[in-house]
Structure 1
Amino acid sequence: MPLQIMKLAITADSTVTTSPTVERFFNEATSTVTGPGTLTIPVEDFWTDTGADATTLPALATDNSYFNVYVNGVLQMEDLLAYTPGGTGVGQLEITVPTDSTIQVDSAIVLVVANFTPTSDTTIIT
C-alpha cells in the first residue's frame, strides 16, 4: 500500500447567535469648549431613548462590546474619548477637544453602547 494521509471522518455543524444589546444616551453641550480642553458629561446629564434621565452607563463586555460617540451627527475618533461605566456620580463620558477644535454650546452629543452576548452550539458527528 502506498503512503497516504490518514484523516478522521468527522463533520460538524455550528450555529452562532450574537444577540446585541444597544443603548443610546443623549446630551446637549451646556457650554462651548474650545481646545485644548475636555468636555466631561456625567451619567446624570444624559437622557435615554425614552427621554428619561439616565441613571447608569452600562459596563462594556470584554471583547464583545463597543461604544461610539457622535457630536452633531459626526462620529468621533476613539482616541479623543474616555468612557467610564457606572451609576450616578460614577459613570461619565470625557471628550478631549484638541487645539483648533471646538464643541459649540447646544451641540447634540450621542453615546451609543453595544454589548454582545454570543452563544454557539456545535454538533459533531463521527
Structure 2
Amino acid sequence: MPLKIMKLAITGTTSVSVDPTVERFFNEVAAQVVGAGTITIPVEDFWTDTGADATTLPALATDNSYFNVYINGVLQMESLSTYTPGGTGTGQLVITVPLGSTVEANSPVVLVVTNYAPDATTDIVT
C-alpha cells in the first residue's frame, strides 16, 4: 500500500449573531459656546427616545461598543468628546469646542451609544 496522509473526518459549522443595543440621548445647548470652551451635559439634562428624562448613561462594553456625538445633526470628531457612563451625578458628556468654533444656543446634541453582545455557537460532527 502506498503512503498517504491520514486525517480526521470532521465537519463543523459556526453560527454567529451580533446583537446591538442602541440607546439615544438628546439635549439642546442652553447658551452659545464660543471656542475654546466646553459643553458639559450631565445625564439628568438628557432626554431619551420616549421624551422622558434620562436617569443613567449606559456603560460601554469593552471592545464591543462605541458612542457618537452629533451637534446640529453633524457627526463630531471622536477626540472632541469625553463620555462618562453612570447615573445622576456621575454620568455625563463633555464636548470640547475648539478655538475658532461656535455652538449656537438651542443647537441639538444627540448622543448615540451602541453596545454589542456577540454570540457564537459551533457544532462539530465526527
If the TM-score is normalised by the length of the shorter chain, which range does it land in?
A: over 0.9
- Alignment match, 1:75: 75
Distance 2:10 2:16 in 1: 20
- Alignment match, 1:104: 104
Structure 2: gaps of 5 or more residues: none
Does the residue aligned with 2:44 lie in a helix, a strand or coil?
helix
Which residue identity lines up with residue 113 of structure 1 in the other structure?
A: V
Identity %: 69
CA deviations 1:2-32 (Å, max 9, x no partner) are 6x66544322101111111110000000011
**How many residues align structurally?**
125
Distance 1:69 1:6 in 2: 57
Structure 1: gaps of 5 or more residues: none
1:10 aligns with 2:6: no
- Structure 2 matches for 1:1-126, cutoff 5 A? 1=2, 7-126=7-126
CA deviations 1:67-101 (Å, max 9, x no partner) are 10100000001011100000000000001111111
Over the residues paired in the alignment, what is the CA RMSD in angstroms?
1.3
Does the residue aligned with 1:95 lie in a helix, a strand or coil?
strand
- Which TM-score applies when normalising by structure 1? 0.93
